[in-house]
Amino acid sequence: MKLTWEYTGGIIKSRDFICGHCGLHLASQRGWDAYDKSDIVAHIYICHNCFQPTYFGPDGKQIPGVAYGNPVHDIPDQYVESLYEEARNCTASNASTAAVLCCRKLLMNLAVSKGASEGQKFIEYVEYLSDKGFIPPDGRDWVDHIRKKGNEATHEIAIVEREDAEELLSFVEMLLKFIYEFPAKRKRKTSADS
């Protein structure tokens, strides 16, 4: 399909979307339309927050996509923070298998950041997190679920579905907030009240 792009003074039909660059939910009408013969079939919208372009193709697919989940603040370990953001960004690129593998690796890094020795088996990292109280009550099943999905992603032919990646990321986000963000927020509040 050969597209003809037309700049109409920058004003096109408004579209509601989440910017894949800055994460802002917006409705933009700045950009370009692309025509196939006489029908508008694709668009480029400009975010009014970060001024970056977002492409919507004939199939409606958004590029760049939107990372699943929310940022988690106050993670002092750069590897844990990087792996979490990498897993989120994998979902923005429809790379669900990679997202699941990042979630699994993140749990290992999380355990090491909280004092576990490097070079252990994955199950030992899970036990460490559980024994030290970093996994909330009834959360052990979730951590085991991440282990199983990570093993499937590594050792089986089947591709991981987006829903599975999002499910694991939801748990990881909650776990990171439980371990890092909420205690840091409370500590800041206590310090401010003193």
Which DSSP category does 179 fall into? I
Which DSSP category does 17 fall into? E
Residue with tokens 């370009």: 32
Which residue has better confidence, 166 or 39? 166
Residue with tokens 């990321």: 169
Tell me the pLDDT band of 8, cut-offs 50, 70 and 90: low
- Asked if 96 contacts 159 with a C-beta cutoff of 8 angstroms, the reply is yes
Structure confidence at residue 39 (pLDDT): 87
Residue with tokens 């590029």: 63
Q: Which amino acid makes up residue 6?
A: E
Residue 115: closest CA among 103, 101, 131:
131
The tens digit of pLDDT for each residue in 153-168 reads 878 888 889 999 999 9
184 backbone dihedrals φ, ψ, rounded to 5°:
-65, -40
pTM (2 d.p.):
0.83
Mean pLDDT of 112-135: 93
Structure confidence at residue 138 (pLDDT): 81
Which DSSP category does 59 fall into? T
Mean pLDDT of 133-146: 84
27 backbone dihedrals φ, ψ, rounded to 5°:
-125, 110
What structural domains does the chain harbor? 4-63 (no CATH), 78-179 (1.20.120)
The tens digit of pLDDT for each residue in 56-73 reads 999 999 999 999 999 999
B/e letters for 17-47, b = 16+ CB within 10 Å, e = fewer, are bbbbeeeeebebebbbbbeeeeeebbbbbbb
Close Cβ partners of 108 (under 8 Å, ≥ 6 residues apart): 122, 125
Determine the Cα–Cα distance for residues 105 and 82; give it in Å rounded to an integer.
11
